[in-house]
Structure 1
Amino acid sequence: MPEDLRMGPFERRTTPPPPVAATERTSWVPVSPERQSWPPPAPAPVERQSWTPAPPPPSTDRAAAERASWAAPPAPSFDRQTFNIPPSADRSSVALLSSERISAPPASDTKSTLRTSRPPTALRGSGTLSAVSERSLHSVAPHSSAPHSSAPHSSSERQWYAEVPLRPGEGPFQIKGLAHRGLLHYCQHRVDGGIRAFSAALPSKPMRDFFAQPFLAGSFYDLLPLAAGSAIVSEMTRIPLDVFAQQQGRAQAVHDVQNAYRALLQGRTSDDFHLRLRPLASRYYNFGEWDVTRDERNRLRIHARGVPTWLLPWFTPMLSGYFAGLVAAMGKPHSQVTLAANRREGTAAGLPLSTLELDILLRD
């Protein structure tokens, strides 16, 4: 029987697949990583570059140029402090307090809102040296032991300070040595001839001996020679006494705020000024009674009782300048200080006493 007939109906003859061709055997070997040394090498240094700010563009505005500058402002210096001249001063006879020695009175157009405090009519002529005395300082009468307890009554008595009513150094009216040191510092740095010229201008040996002693800032010393010495310096520098005394008071206030009484005054405002005046005055003076009242929010009245009348030509403008400097340091730079009243009240150590009332108008 043919072979094809012996197959079933559902069978199909198939040809076996050809054998698979032999392939080349390959083996897999992982690639070894590149060997690296440890620690890794440091990165190459990067060149450091400095940055310098570009200079500000040129400007004709001086104030803008100062604001653009990176330089810190200089520290405040008491030695170089300058002060304004009241409008009542004779500009042709005024020399500003500056760091330069004074040899001639330069002209000045400086104005100030600080009013010049003046004594009443009986003392007004004596309290203001409106012109330079033509007499030499060496022609001053020598010191006399006889009391001269009253202030001068006419403008011709310009050298009322020639005779101190009490022997220098023995008066009971005293002030801290800060004030004496301030006057000598001014003479040393701003007067031709320095302290030697000031000593030669003093009218008597007791006065020279008094200012020759060392002054301690925290000790009390006689106030009467200080007033007389200040008047002599005002003539040496050809500055009217009321102007010089105001500047003297303001300079002392700036120094006290920055140094001696910094803890009491610095960082404070004028709102509680009347509460701190009494302890300040008791630290500065060993005489008198001091009080202050606030009449309005921006107005204060100061009462100073027991002040020797002989001191008033110098003491009144000095005190007004001092208080003006204090309130200026407390944020009221344009305040005005004026003498409201001056009356006689009693005597002490053979000297008539007065009570002063000063009005302070606080202005920003």
Structure 2
Amino acid sequence: MFWMQDVPFKPGASPFRCKGVLYQDSFVYFDEHFKGGRGSILRHVEGPGFSSFLSQQFIIGGWYDVFPLLALHSLAARITGTGFLELERDIAQFQVPRQFNGIHRFLLKLTTPDVMMANLPRLGDKYFDFVRIESKRVREKTYESFTSGVPALAAASYLTVSDVAIRAALEMAGAQGVRIQRHPLEPAGEAHGLPIVLLKRVVRWT
């Protein structure tokens, strides 16, 4: 689970940000999957800062503190009796096709899995402003991916969500049998007072 109490920033004040579309899609997911929709979750939000932050109008392309999003998902998981990372995966599987629709889907179908992996850093930059991604070809249909800048508090969630996105993008580009192998998290110092970790993955397909 994720708790706002573990974050040394008031809601909306952290320098670790994500795109507003992730908040918007989360609310739509609640509306479509939970009885009572987003209201059934938001009425349980505690703390004036947290409640005020979530009541704002989120702009698709705007940048917003990522930690309240994780706290919102954690709250929804507790209310619905779902595992936190299970819900993170479910929301990502709902969001990713929405994000890859239209022009993104068209371009992905025109590209190749190798080109998609080469463009992985650009894909990450679109949604999180604190990650730095490197992608290196190891052999045919095998890449190593290195992601730095991720707060340890958010690492499990980020890995879960980005695994879904990488798999979906590769499959749209024509890859089959996609396998993602994670390496243990590596401490990588601090940023803005929070421990940071390095994420390593090996991505393969047939």
| 1:272 and 2:124 matched | no
% identical equivalent positions: 20
Which residue in 2 is equivalent to 1:257?
100
Aligned residue for 2:11, secondary structure, equals coil
| 1:348 and 2:178 matched | no
Which residue in 2 is equivalent to 1:163?
5
| Partner deviation per Cα, 1:318-341 (whole Å, 9 max, x = no partner) | 221221222122222531223123
**How many residues are paired up?**
205
Deviation at 1:201, TM superposition (A): 2.2
| 1:236 and 2:79 matched | yes
1:293 to 114, 129, 136: 136
| Partner deviation per Cα, 1:200-242 (whole Å, 9 max, x = no partner) | 2223222221111111111111111111111222233332222
Contact in 2 for aligned 1:249/1:325 (Cα 8 Å): no
Q: Which amino acid aligns with 1:231?
A: S
Aligned residue for 2:184, secondary structure, equals strand
Q: Which amino acid aligns with 1:235?
A: R
Which residue in 1 is equivalent to 2:203?
360
| Partner deviation per Cα, 1:3-24 (whole Å, 9 max, x = no partner) | xxxxxxxxxxxxxxxxxxxxxx
Bigger Rg, which one: 1
| Partner deviation per Cα, 1:270-293 (whole Å, 9 max, x = no partner) | 021222112222222211211111
Pair 248,260 (structure 1): closer, same or farther in 2 beyond 3 Å: farther
Structure showing the higher strand proportion among its residues: 2
Aligned residue for 1:258, secondary structure, equals coil
Q: Which moved more, 1:256-265 or 1:335-344?
A: 256-265
Q: Which amino acid aligns with 1:236?
A: I
Aligned residue for 1:303, secondary structure, equals strand
- Find runs of 4+ consecutive structure 1 residues off by over 6 angstroms: none
Contact in 2 for aligned 1:173/1:223 (Cα 8 Å): yes
Which residue in 2 is equivalent to 1:202?
45
1:328 to 168, 171, 175: 171
Instruction: Tell me, in whole angstroms, the C-alpha distance in 2 between the residues paired with 1:310 and 1:196.
Output: 27
Q: Which amino acid aligns with 2:193?
A: G
Contact in 1 for aligned 2:116/2:169 (Cα 8 Å): no
Pair 170,288 (structure 1): closer, same or farther in 2 beyond 3 Å: same
Which residue in 2 is equivalent to 1:174?
17
Aligned residue for 2:183, secondary structure, equals strand
CA RMSD of aligned residues (A): 2.0
Aligned residue for 1:304, secondary structure, equals strand
Which residue in 1 is equivalent to 2:27?
184
Pair 333,239 (structure 1): closer, same or farther in 2 beyond 3 Å: farther
Deviation at 1:298, TM superposition (A): 1.8
| Partner deviation per Cα, 1:43-93 (whole Å, 9 max, x = no partner) | xxxxxxxxxxxxxxxxxxxxxxxxxxxxxxxxxxxxxxxxxxxxxxxxxxx
Aligned residue for 1:170, secondary structure, equals coil
Aligned residue for 2:155, secondary structure, equals helix
Contact in 1 for aligned 2:2/2:74 (Cα 8 Å): no
Q: Which amino acid aligns with 2:119?
A: R
Pair 314,281 (structure 1): closer, same or farther in 2 beyond 3 Å: closer
Contact in 2 for aligned 1:320/1:337 (Cα 8 Å): yes
Structure showing the higher helix proportion among its residues: 2
Q: Under a length normalisation based on structure 2, what TM-score does the superposition of the two structures give?
A: 0.90
Gaps of 5+ in 1: 1-158
Aligned residue for 1:248, secondary structure, equals helix
Contact in 1 for aligned 2:2/2:70 (Cα 8 Å): no
Which residue in 2 is equivalent to 1:81?
none
Gaps of 5+ in 2: none
